[in-house]
Amino acid sequence: MVQDYLKGTRENTSGLAEFFQTILQLKSIQRQGWKDKLDMKNPESVADHCYSTAVIAMVLADLKKLDVTKIIKMSLLHDLAETITGDMTPEQTTKSKKIEAESRAMKKILGTLDGSQKTEYWKIWREYLQNKSKESKLLHQIDKLEMAIQASEYAKLGFTKNQIMPFFKSAKNEITDPKLRKILSEFM
Protein backbone atom coordinates (compact mmCIF):
# COMPACT_ATOMS: atom_id res chain seq x y z
CA MET A 1 0.00 0.00 0.00
CA VAL A 2 2.80 2.41 0.88
CA GLN A 3 4.62 1.39 -2.32
CA ASP A 4 1.49 2.20 -4.38
CA TYR A 5 1.30 5.62 -2.74
CA LEU A 6 4.95 6.35 -3.42
CA LYS A 7 4.65 5.09 -6.98
CA GLY A 8 1.67 7.38 -7.55
CA THR A 9 3.59 10.31 -6.10
CA ARG A 10 6.53 9.68 -8.41
CA GLU A 11 4.29 9.49 -11.44
CA ASN A 12 2.49 12.71 -10.49
CA THR A 13 5.74 14.61 -9.96
CA SER A 14 7.45 13.43 -13.15
CA GLY A 15 5.27 15.79 -15.20
CA LEU A 16 6.10 18.65 -12.84
CA ALA A 17 9.80 17.87 -13.06
CA GLU A 18 9.61 17.99 -16.86
CA PHE A 19 7.66 21.26 -16.75
CA PHE A 20 10.16 22.84 -14.34
CA GLN A 21 13.07 21.68 -16.49
CA THR A 22 11.39 23.28 -19.51
CA ILE A 23 10.83 26.65 -17.85
CA LEU A 24 14.48 26.83 -16.80
CA GLN A 25 15.40 26.80 -20.49
CA LEU A 26 13.99 30.34 -20.78
CA LYS A 27 17.10 31.51 -18.96
CA SER A 28 19.25 30.49 -21.93
CA ILE A 29 16.97 31.79 -24.71
CA GLN A 30 18.26 35.22 -25.66
CA ARG A 31 15.91 37.94 -26.87
CA GLN A 32 16.36 37.86 -30.63
CA GLY A 33 15.48 41.49 -31.37
CA TRP A 34 18.43 42.76 -29.35
CA LYS A 35 20.75 40.32 -31.11
CA ASP A 36 19.50 41.23 -34.58
CA LYS A 37 19.05 44.98 -34.28
CA LEU A 38 21.84 45.86 -31.84
CA ASP A 39 24.21 43.04 -32.76
CA MET A 40 24.44 42.19 -29.06
CA LYS A 41 26.45 39.17 -28.05
CA ASN A 42 24.81 38.67 -24.64
CA PRO A 43 21.38 40.33 -24.46
CA GLU A 44 18.77 39.72 -21.81
CA SER A 45 17.12 36.32 -21.77
CA VAL A 46 13.44 35.61 -22.30
CA ALA A 47 13.30 34.72 -18.59
CA ASP A 48 14.72 38.16 -17.72
CA HIS A 49 12.06 39.77 -19.86
CA CYS A 50 9.23 37.65 -18.39
CA TYR A 51 10.27 38.45 -14.84
CA SER A 52 10.39 42.21 -15.45
CA THR A 53 7.10 42.07 -17.34
CA ALA A 54 5.45 40.15 -14.48
CA VAL A 55 6.55 42.67 -11.84
CA ILE A 56 5.44 45.64 -13.94
CA ALA A 57 2.14 43.88 -14.64
CA MET A 58 1.59 43.16 -10.95
CA VAL A 59 2.03 46.81 -9.97
CA LEU A 60 -0.01 48.28 -12.81
CA ALA A 61 -2.84 45.73 -12.54
CA ASP A 62 -3.05 46.50 -8.83
CA LEU A 63 -3.28 50.23 -9.55
CA LYS A 64 -5.98 49.60 -12.16
CA LYS A 65 -7.91 47.19 -9.90
CA LEU A 66 -7.61 44.33 -12.40
CA ASP A 67 -7.19 40.62 -11.67
CA VAL A 68 -3.59 40.65 -10.46
CA THR A 69 -3.27 36.89 -10.11
CA LYS A 70 -4.44 36.35 -13.67
CA ILE A 71 -2.14 38.99 -15.17
CA ILE A 72 0.88 37.63 -13.29
CA LYS A 73 0.13 34.12 -14.56
CA MET A 74 -0.44 35.53 -18.04
CA SER A 75 2.86 37.43 -18.00
CA LEU A 76 4.78 34.37 -16.83
CA LEU A 77 3.15 32.22 -19.52
CA HIS A 78 3.15 34.70 -22.41
CA ASP A 79 6.57 33.70 -23.82
CA LEU A 80 6.87 30.18 -22.40
CA ALA A 81 6.52 28.59 -25.85
CA GLU A 82 9.86 30.16 -26.74
CA THR A 83 11.60 27.37 -24.84
CA ILE A 84 10.78 25.30 -27.92
CA THR A 85 10.32 27.84 -30.72
CA GLY A 86 13.00 30.33 -29.74
CA ASP A 87 12.30 34.06 -29.75
CA MET A 88 10.93 34.67 -33.24
CA THR A 89 10.85 38.26 -34.47
CA PRO A 90 8.41 39.68 -37.05
CA GLU A 91 11.28 39.74 -39.53
CA GLN A 92 11.75 35.98 -39.18
CA THR A 93 8.18 34.74 -39.63
CA THR A 94 4.59 35.76 -40.12
CA LYS A 95 2.30 36.32 -37.15
CA SER A 96 0.09 33.37 -38.10
CA LYS A 97 3.05 30.98 -38.42
CA LYS A 98 4.40 32.19 -35.09
CA ILE A 99 1.05 31.61 -33.37
CA GLU A 100 0.79 28.15 -34.94
CA ALA A 101 4.30 27.15 -33.83
CA GLU A 102 3.82 28.58 -30.35
CA SER A 103 0.45 26.86 -29.96
CA ARG A 104 2.03 23.49 -30.73
CA ALA A 105 4.83 24.26 -28.30
CA MET A 106 2.46 25.34 -25.51
CA LYS A 107 0.38 22.19 -25.93
CA LYS A 108 3.54 20.13 -25.53
CA ILE A 109 4.81 22.12 -22.55
CA LEU A 110 1.48 22.27 -20.73
CA GLY A 111 0.83 18.62 -21.56
CA THR A 112 3.22 17.71 -18.77
CA LEU A 113 0.84 19.19 -16.18
CA ASP A 114 -2.31 17.72 -14.65
CA GLY A 115 -5.68 18.43 -16.28
CA SER A 116 -6.91 21.41 -14.25
CA GLN A 117 -3.62 23.30 -14.36
CA LYS A 118 -3.09 22.48 -18.02
CA THR A 119 -6.60 23.75 -18.84
CA GLU A 120 -6.27 26.91 -16.76
CA TYR A 121 -2.85 27.88 -18.14
CA TRP A 122 -3.88 27.13 -21.72
CA LYS A 123 -6.98 29.32 -21.26
CA ILE A 124 -4.92 32.19 -19.80
CA TRP A 125 -2.31 31.93 -22.55
CA ARG A 126 -5.02 31.92 -25.27
CA GLU A 127 -6.64 34.91 -23.59
CA TYR A 128 -3.32 36.73 -23.93
CA LEU A 129 -3.13 35.86 -27.63
CA GLN A 130 -6.71 37.00 -28.26
CA ASN A 131 -5.96 40.36 -26.65
CA LYS A 132 -9.58 41.13 -25.73
CA SER A 133 -9.75 41.13 -21.91
CA LYS A 134 -8.61 44.11 -19.84
CA GLU A 135 -5.72 42.08 -18.46
CA SER A 136 -4.52 40.87 -21.86
CA LYS A 137 -4.77 44.33 -23.40
CA LEU A 138 -2.77 45.80 -20.54
CA LEU A 139 -0.18 43.02 -20.71
CA HIS A 140 0.41 43.51 -24.44
CA GLN A 141 1.18 47.14 -23.73
CA ILE A 142 3.36 46.28 -20.72
CA ASP A 143 5.29 43.87 -22.96
CA LYS A 144 6.19 46.84 -25.17
CA LEU A 145 6.84 49.13 -22.21
CA GLU A 146 9.27 46.61 -20.72
CA MET A 147 11.07 46.45 -24.07
CA ALA A 148 11.43 50.26 -24.09
CA ILE A 149 12.70 50.30 -20.51
CA GLN A 150 15.27 47.67 -21.46
CA ALA A 151 16.26 49.78 -24.47
CA SER A 152 16.93 52.70 -22.14
CA GLU A 153 19.15 50.40 -20.06
CA TYR A 154 21.08 49.43 -23.17
CA ALA A 155 21.49 53.12 -24.02
CA LYS A 156 23.32 53.50 -20.70
CA LEU A 157 25.73 50.82 -21.92
CA GLY A 158 26.66 52.93 -24.94
CA PHE A 159 24.17 52.00 -27.63
CA THR A 160 23.26 55.10 -29.58
CA LYS A 161 19.92 56.83 -29.77
CA ASN A 162 19.65 55.79 -33.43
CA GLN A 163 20.18 52.16 -32.47
CA ILE A 164 17.53 52.09 -29.75
CA MET A 165 14.99 54.49 -31.27
CA PRO A 166 13.20 51.73 -33.27
CA PHE A 167 12.37 50.01 -29.97
CA PHE A 168 10.92 53.22 -28.54
CA LYS A 169 8.92 53.86 -31.73
CA SER A 170 7.51 50.34 -31.64
CA ALA A 171 6.46 50.82 -28.01
CA LYS A 172 4.94 54.21 -28.73
CA ASN A 173 2.90 52.74 -31.60
CA GLU A 174 1.51 49.93 -29.43
CA ILE A 175 0.92 51.67 -26.10
CA THR A 176 -2.44 53.44 -25.88
CA ASP A 177 -3.03 53.50 -22.12
CA PRO A 178 -2.43 57.10 -20.88
CA LYS A 179 -0.55 56.03 -17.73
CA LEU A 180 1.72 53.71 -19.69
CA ARG A 181 2.33 56.37 -22.36
CA LYS A 182 3.40 58.77 -19.61
CA ILE A 183 5.77 56.18 -18.13
CA LEU A 184 7.14 55.48 -21.61
CA SER A 185 7.83 59.20 -22.18
CA GLU A 186 9.98 59.26 -19.05
CA PHE A 187 12.26 56.63 -20.58
CA MET A 188 12.35 58.18 -24.05
> Is the per-residue pLDDT at 60 higher than 80?
yes
Q: Each residue of 119-165: pLDDT tens digit?
A: 999 999 999 999 999 999 999 999 999 999 999 999 999 998 889 99
Kindly write down the DSSP assignment for every residue of 20-54, as one continuous string: HHHHHGGGG-B-HHHHHHH--SS--BHHHHHHHHH
| All structural domains of the chain | 2-187 (1.10.3210.10)
In this predicted model, what pLDDT tens digit does every residue of 105-118 receive, in sequence order? Answer: 999 999 999 888 99
Cα–Cα distance, 146 to 102 (Å, whole number): 21
Q: Which amino acid is at 4?
A: D
Percentage with pLDDT > 90 across the chain: 76
In terms of Cβ atoms closer than 10 Å to its own Cβ (0-12, 13-18, 19+), residue 184 is: buried
Q: What is the pLDDT of residue 93?
A: 84
CA separation for the pair 124, 72 (Å, rounded): 10
How many Å apart are CA 62 and CA 95, to the nearest integer?
A: 31
Tell me the β-bridge partners of 45: 30
Q: What is the pLDDT of residue 54?
A: 98
What's the predicted TM-score (pTM) here?
0.87
Distance CA 44, CA 2 (A): 46
